[in-house]
Amino acid sequence: MSCPECIAAASRPHHAFMSNCRGCQARAISRGHEFFAARKAAGRAGTPEVTAYLALIERVGLTHDEVRAAWKADAANQSASADASPGDRHGSEVEGNSSESERAPA
């Protein structure tokens, strides 16, 4: 981790990448379709999803550990920022409304 995008991504959800940075490439792949599909295939070697993913990281020159580390860092950031904003809720707007129309004339 050495570029500005990686430093920003280390502390919060961040969506910019440097094309010549390994950390950024790992982060980009960890958010990509190939990694998602391989994870869904439960990492079983020999499935098309895992084969495609392994081919991708080999082409880019990354290891699975690097991608996994980037994915875990992202996941930690996302849950941390979700916990950090409890004030954004729009509760209590969905209450009421049902009793008025049911009032029978006396």
Residues forming the site for Zn ion (CB under 5 A)? 3, 5-6, 18, 21, 23-24
Q: Kindly tell me which of 7 and 76 has the beta carbon lying closer to Zn ion.
A: 7
DSSP 3: S
Measured in degrees and rounded to the nearest 5, phi and psi for residue 63 equal: -105, 160
In angstroms, what is the minimal distance from the CB of 90 to Zn ion?
36
* Cα within 13 Å of Cα(12), Cβ side: 6
Q: Quick one: 28 or 38, whose CB is closer to Zn ion?
A: 28
Residue 23 CB, nearest distance to Zn ion (Å)? 4
